[in-house]
Structure 1
Amino acid sequence: MSTIEDGPLHSVMGRVGRLSTRRPWLTVTVWLLVAVGVGALVLAFGRATDENAALPGATSQHGRDLLESHFAGAQDATGQVLFRSPGTALDTASVAAAAQRVAAVGHVSGVQKPVLSADRRTGYVDVQFDLGPRDVTPELIDDVLAAAATDGVETLPAGALARPRSDTRLSEALGIVVALVVLVIAFGGLLAATLPLLTAVVTLVCGVGIIGLAGHLTGIPSVATTLGTMIGLGVGIDYALFLMTRYRALLPASAPAALASPAAPAGPAAPASPAAQVGSAPGSRRAWRRGGSRRGGTQVIPVARRRAAVVETVASSGSAVAFAGGTVIVALGGLAVAGVPILATLGWTAGLVVLVAVASATTLLPAMLMLLGGRVTAPPVRDRASLWGRLADRVTRRPWRYAVTSAVLLLALAAPVTAMTLGQTDAGDDPAGTDTRAGYDAMAAAFGAGVNGPLTVVAALDSPASSPADARLAQLSAAVGGTAGIASVQPVRLSADGTVASIKAVPTTAPSDPATRTTVDRLDDLRVGGVAVSVTGQTAIRGELADRVGARMPFVIGLVVLLSALLVFAAFRAPVVAAKAALMNLLSVGAAYGVLTAVFQWGWGVTWTGLDGPVPIEAYVPMMLFALLSGLSMDYEVFLLTAVRESWVRTGDNVRAVRDGLAGTGVVITSAALIMVCVFASFVLSSTPVVKMIGLGLAVAIAVDATVIRGLLVPATMALLGRANWWSPRRRSAAAPRSPELETTGPASR
């Protein structure tokens, strides 16, 4: 037996099921109170985000640390308010008056002297706050812009003031609507379809709400909450779907004494094939006759039988859900070894949402099933199991044909990955019409593209300087200004103790331009007598982040693949299956990488995503996608392999086991994957390029995984490998008969 079928996890989840069904009203009430409490805290305190990247050990981070320790207010947020006159030169008096009004706004600690463009039609003022970046709220930004408003002059936010606004509500709504449609078709009833949605909504409120509240304590980028929303909707619905399907298959079936009604025979019925169990759906006429009485169109099932069915559901499918969720969390935990804080943050925040999804699916959903009784046993719209049964027959009859064809297709999708380069996006990559893009373009047109990503050269002096006019600092300023790729430099700033100086330099190229990274390297190589130089700023830090991610990606990928293979081996005790699962994960992620490269880097169809043209692939996105997809794809692998292995143990016939497994899980996996693909794809509608990349990458990988890999390649390779699939050095016999109690429970939805 596998760990999922008879190990400690099965026993633990059985106890969880009994606890949830013993006092279902209490379980539901606790979840509702937690959700309401978290929601109230979010409404009261908001969701704080911080886009400032950190990179311990990097040269740029050392420069930032020097600034923060020697200059008061160095950690405070700074943005720009841009003034643009449509046809005449700006009235400097009006701009100065606007600057004074801005200075009077609460939490504004200073407003610098206006800077005008060469044609004097555009100007801007630097606005500094007495708050950190994550504490500058949209309401405060609106107050600043309202104070800066001037008749006859266009006012735009730039820099930290042009923060991306959350625009994922449409994506969330679309995902929920599509999920509801798929669930209604899969379950054949609106009531049954709403239960997975309710668990997903609770997961979103609790998981994403906690992430937002944690932003007040530590730096969390806005993409973390968006990613949490994607994952919460996707896995929250999918995990509940697997449990619901298992429950509906168990409840009306002829069952052993533990599941039978008082009038049912004590002995077990003949085992049903997986396809037959899916086809003999809860709510069919035969099921009505088997499962108690019928009252008002609702099947009346004894409480003891319902409780036994729920407990068995949580013990079996709940174990698979817990294992699959644990696999996702472990894979995301692998990001912590990359040494990149933003990846570690995305890992633990996404893992938190997955943990909440597993908890709600295995406790809240069973409690609701107990309360609803037989009202969730409506028949499906039509029998779809035969479609997957026919596909399973075709694949297992000609495994070489399907294995080679699907492998070639996957390699073709993955081919562009060989040209993938990692970079960083900036506001100039945002869709036209957004606040961030408008401010970026206006600043770039008037002052050059580099003004949107200034660099700060930090100098640590071997002996204190008495003033910024120190000869060493004058020499450094001249060297910085004369460096290739630098358009202008600002006056030297000196710390109070005279040991640290900083010079703000504006490059000639945009923040996302690879040439800017070259300019940073030139500045880092400057050698001025008695002065140690470090270049910092978001542009410099994110450039080093891309380098570090590229260097450590092979190590992280190797670790995640190893962990995933070990988990599958622990579940099924079959090294061949574990190695094959790891290889399949690489193929699905490779296909996603190839599509990302072709769309965003090469620009193939990029305008369909709402962008104007090709954009750099954000450095941390591929590594984060790899960990996340490795975990999510294991969900389907676990459910399919559990069904295949159950038939293999029962029959000892490998080909039949593969057919039974695919036929029995095809509908469930397809429904779950369709929901997840639609949820992820809907986030391509976001205005943020990074969110578009994540949404498209996840959607492509899940679609490929659930169709080409799980539907064709996995069954074909398992048919080819034969008995070697389940070989184990510690197993004495290839197959053993199952107990009568387990014979009656097919793998339809594990």
Structure 2
Amino acid sequence: MSGFLGRLGGWCARHGKLVLALWILVAAALTAGSQLFPGPVNNNVAIPGTDAQHAHDLMRDGFGVGYEPGGTVQIVVHSPDGPLTDDARKRAVERAMDRIRGVPHVAQVDTPYRMGGMAPNLQIGIITVRLQGHDGSRLAETTRELSAAAEPVREAGMEAVPSDSGTPADKEIKTGVSEAIGVVCALLVLLFAFGTLVAALVPIFTALVSIATGLGVISLLGHVVDVPKQASIMATMIGLGVGIDYALFLLSRYRRLLDDGLAVPEAARRMGAGSGGAVVFAGGTVIIALSALLLAGFPMLQTLGWITGISVVCAVLTSITLVPGLLGLLGRRIDALRLPLAGRRRSDDGSSGWTGLGLWVARRPWGVLALSVAVLAALTAPALALNLGTLDDGYGDRGTEARRAYELKEAGFGPGMNGPLVVLADLEEKVADREPAPAVLQALKDRVASVEGVAHVGEPVLNEGGTAAMVQAVTEFAPSDPRAVEVVEAVRALRIEGASVHVGGEVAGMADVGRRITERTPVVIGVVVLLSALLLLLAFRSPVVALKAALMNLVSLGAAFGVLALVFSLGLGSGLVGMDPPVGADDAYVATLFFSVPIDSYIPLMLFAVLFGLSMDYEVFLLTAVRQAYLRHGDNRRAVAEGLGSTGRVITSAALIMVAVFVAFIAYPDPMVKIFGVGLAAAIAVDATIIRGFLVPATMVLLGRYNWWCPRWLDRILPDLSIEGHEEEPRDERPERELVGAGRA
């Protein structure tokens, strides 16, 4: 593979103008296509085989307009200065309802002046809008149109806040400021690392082309598959980080080759043969980890995984083609516009501060190992307190309509109004809609109302065929409260003669998602670890290195989850990352900064896949350098020090870029994005410092030549997929011959 990538890099360097023009054309065409023909986004929250999915399927069977998922929008009306029953206010509400009826796809508008539509204080009411024939994937846009139609309420001095029937995961996420902050921070790191403006701009430009290409592809894919709303933000976060990092690794190798006196085309060729192979394998591990989410059993997470992988593919492709093309155009002008006091060179003997650190670790590996394990254990321990639950709109940004609607409904009707249970009864025999209500319908209402924790139960609704009945139940608890899940299980446990009971709605759906992901998590983790280890085995022909790398990545993941638990589950600074406290938690200043936040059950698995792949990047680059050094002289301790010395600066720069990008995304108002930002930033910081700077070198020193041991039988069957390109550099052949079968003694 290194030979092919070397030839590719050399060709791109010789045809730089063509390569640059082709990438700009592709990125511009895809961006224009996505703007002219934007694909719809749609969070497919179906959970095949679960009770909540059965309930949602029954809802589609003849219950009339507005009862299918996504078919209802509520306008919460609040009159702070008096009751809604005042004549002037009532007329304003009725004018708004008339305008709402004129919005396309509105089939029915329920007045707040109905039974159950008005809060006991008469100051908060709910206009329920039932839709028919609308595009469920454009629910946010429909909601905005309905909110605009309610303007007469606002003109009368009242609030009119929309609240659609989507889950918090359905809320629209817009990109913009955080990406700009991330790019600026990355540029500053690159300026310090390279010391020249031209060199710093190459990774930035490459990453932007990669992101434009990836986002264009993802948008157009919306016409043929369900693309989650989070896809663009995840693709941007991961694509920006890996796109800059991969170009950084290549450019660092290229500049070293130029310093060694190579001509530009030859330097580009060797860069592709060496670091280009490492980039391909590093990107491959990220894609494998994301693809393993196909086994999660949750369609939205499955789609989010492979679609996010598109951004990684684009990052790899631009790195191994566009970067050499740009370097071919720039030649030795890559060091133009040098900045003072930046991009310090190594000493004359080629050593660096990182080499010194490597030698220091090599002299005391047991002590470094013990201290590293102790620090990582302390960081990982809080992960045992990780609180998985439902992240409802009560934790959203206070500037959003979703958060305001949540607070108004809680104040007027109780916390359970924000996540009512939809109870469906699959009837064994057809019944007629008559008075008095059939016994099975009355039994359904009475039995659900008798469940502890249920505050209110609506009247049963029978479908057109008389084969299913539905009631809505409001619990005493907010959707994020674990006790709401207990109520769901209690209702599901009901046994009603002549009917089988199923529970749907946001709380029930997220509970089933959590259960499904818990069941599938061991499978996903096992597949990711095994496939990534196999890829490293093919790359380095060492089972010890492959298994150790997988273990190190799991260690860094544990530390990341520990930080997540500290910040969100234990609440030690959740307010500092921009989370707003829930209602009732802001009575004291301290409560606005420190409060517990539940983490949606699918987030840790998504984080695991992303972080495992990203952590493997640094492992690949470090191991590549160590192996190259070992093959040159056969001294393991020296090889570890030299490998750390040659990669420490670039890995640290890459990690700083990643951390800066992910921290910038913490500024997003969406809680899910904040959690991802904290988790990703913490994991990369730990991985690039404690893991790669101390733990990995210490273990490699202790293992000695067994790092590169490979049984003869395994060596014979493994294909030759060397990624280092070390065949192009002079070396002593003796160490490589001793690798195979070295452990036989």
Alignment TM-score > 0.5, same fold: yes
Aligned pair 1:88/2:82, yes or no?
Answer: yes
Equivalent residue, structure 1, for 2:144: 142
Aligned pair 1:395/2:361, yes or no?
Answer: yes
Shift of the alpha carbon at 1:238? 0.4
Q: Distance in 2 between matches of 1:137 and 1:510?
A: 23
SS at match of 1:225: helix
Task: Give a deviation string over 1:132-191, Cα, whole Å, max 9, x none.
Answer: 4321344x4333222102212111122348974535422111110011111112222111
Equivalent residue, structure 2, for 1:430: 396
Shift of the alpha carbon at 1:76? 4.2
Moved more, 430-439 or 214-223: 214-223
Moved more, 166-175 or 353-362: 166-175
Mapping of residues 451-490 of structure 1, within 5 Å: 451-467=417-433, 469-490=437-458
Equivalent residue, structure 2, for 1:131: 134
Aligned pair 1:209/2:216, yes or no?
Answer: yes
SS at match of 2:353: helix
5+ residue gaps, structure 1: 1-8, 256-304, 746-750
Q: Distance in 2 between matches of 1:147 and 1:239?
A: 49
Task: Give a deviation string over 1:241-294, Cα, whole Å, max 9, x none.
Answer: 111111112234245xxxxxxxxxxxxxxxxxxxxxxxxxxxxxxxxxxxxxxx
1:692 pairs with one of 674, 683, 686: 674
SS at match of 1:136: helix
Equivalent residue, structure 2, for 1:595: 563
Equivalent residue, structure 2, for 1:65: 57
Task: Give a deviation string over 1:39-77, Cα, whole Å, max 9, x none.
Answer: 223323446433452211111111112222444652443
Shift of the alpha carbon at 1:388? 0.8
Equivalent residue, structure 2, for 1:49: 41
SS at match of 2:260: coil
Aligned pair 1:39/2:31, yes or no?
Answer: yes
Equivalent residue, structure 2, for 1:296: none
Equivalent residue, structure 2, for 1:314: 272
Over 3 Å counting, the alpha-carbon distance change for 1:528 and 1:371 in structure 2 is same
2:534 pairs with one of 566, 582, 607: 566
SS at match of 1:82: strand
5+ residue gaps, structure 2: 582-594, 716-724, 733-745
Q: Distance in 2 between matches of 1:69 and 1:212?
A: 32
1:152 pairs with one of 133, 149, 157: 157
Equivalent residue, structure 1, for 2:650: 668
Equivalent residue, structure 1, for 2:509: 541
Task: Give a deviation string over 1:617-665, Cα, whole Å, max 9, x none.
Answer: 1101111111111111110000000000011111110001001100011
Q: In 1, are the aligned partners of 2:431 and 2:438 still within 8 Å (CA)?
A: yes
Q: AA paired with 1:324?
A: A
Task: Give a deviation string over 1:533-562, Cα, whole Å, max 9, x none.
Answer: 111122211111112222332332222222
Q: In 2, are the aligned partners of 1:164 and 1:435 still within 8 Å (CA)?
A: no
2:323 pairs with one of 355, 365, 368: 365
Q: Distance in 2 between matches of 1:413 and 1:590?
A: 8
Shift of the alpha carbon at 1:235? 0.3
Moved more, 404-413 or 23-32: 23-32
Equivalent residue, structure 1, for 2:237: 230
2:71 pairs with one of 66, 77, 88: 77
Q: AA paired with 1:633?
A: S
Moved more, 207-216 or 639-648: 207-216
Task: Give a deviation string over 1:704-733, Cα, whole Å, max 9, x none.
Answer: 000000011111111111111111112999
Equivalent residue, structure 1, for 2:701: 719
Q: Distance in 2 between matches of 1:367 and 1:540?
A: 53
SS at match of 2:304: helix
Identity %, equivalent residues: 46
Shift of the alpha carbon at 1:18? 4.4
Aligned pair 1:413/2:379, yes or no?
Answer: yes
Over 3 Å counting, the alpha-carbon distance change for 1:497 and 1:740 in structure 2 is closer
Aligned pair 1:346/2:304, yes or no?
Answer: yes
SS at match of 1:123: strand
Over 3 Å counting, the alpha-carbon distance change for 1:706 and 1:141 in structure 2 is same
Equivalent residue, structure 2, for 1:297: none
Query: Structure 1 length as normaliser, TM-score?
Result: 0.87
Equivalent residue, structure 2, for 1:376: 334
Pairs aligned (count): 684
1:521 pairs with one of 469, 489, 501: 489
Equivalent residue, structure 1, for 2:684: 702
Q: AA paired with 1:494?
A: L
Aligned pair 1:241/2:248, yes or no?
Answer: yes
Moved more, 558-567 or 639-648: 558-567
Equivalent residue, structure 1, for 2:730: 743
Q: Distance in 1 between matches of 2:97 and 2:555?
A: 56
Equivalent residue, structure 1, for 2:12: 20
SS at match of 1:614: coil
Over 3 Å counting, the alpha-carbon distance change for 1:79 and 1:325 in structure 2 is same
Shift of the alpha carbon at 1:605? 1.3
Over 3 Å counting, the alpha-carbon distance change for 1:451 and 1:646 in structure 2 is same
Over 3 Å counting, the alpha-carbon distance change for 1:218 and 1:127 in structure 2 is farther
Equivalent residue, structure 2, for 1:645: 627
Q: Distance in 1 between matches of 2:397 and 2:421?
A: 25
Q: Distance in 1 between matches of 2:172 and 2:238?
A: 20
Q: Distance in 1 between matches of 2:92 and 2:727?
A: 87
Q: Distance in 2 between matches of 1:20 and 1:108?
A: 56
Q: In 1, are the aligned partners of 2:628 and 2:726 still within 8 Å (CA)?
A: no
2:187 pairs with one of 180, 199, 203: 180
Q: In 2, are the aligned partners of 1:325 and 1:635 still within 8 Å (CA)?
A: yes
Equivalent residue, structure 1, for 2:465: 497
Shift of the alpha carbon at 1:702? 0.4
Q: In 1, are the aligned partners of 2:215 and 2:311 still within 8 Å (CA)?
A: yes
Over 3 Å counting, the alpha-carbon distance change for 1:501 and 1:513 in structure 2 is same
Over 3 Å counting, the alpha-carbon distance change for 1:662 and 1:102 in structure 2 is same
Aligned pair 1:189/2:196, yes or no?
Answer: yes
RMSD: 2.3
Q: In 2, are the aligned partners of 1:609 and 1:692 still within 8 Å (CA)?
A: yes
Q: In 2, are the aligned partners of 1:47 and 1:209 still within 8 Å (CA)?
A: no
Q: Distance in 2 between matches of 1:474 and 1:308?
A: 83
Q: In 2, are the aligned partners of 1:24 and 1:371 still within 8 Å (CA)?
A: yes
Q: In 2, are the aligned partners of 1:484 and 1:519 still within 8 Å (CA)?
A: yes
Q: In 2, are the aligned partners of 1:424 and 1:546 still within 8 Å (CA)?
A: no
Shift of the alpha carbon at 1:24? 2.9
Q: In 1, are the aligned partners of 2:70 and 2:165 still within 8 Å (CA)?
A: no
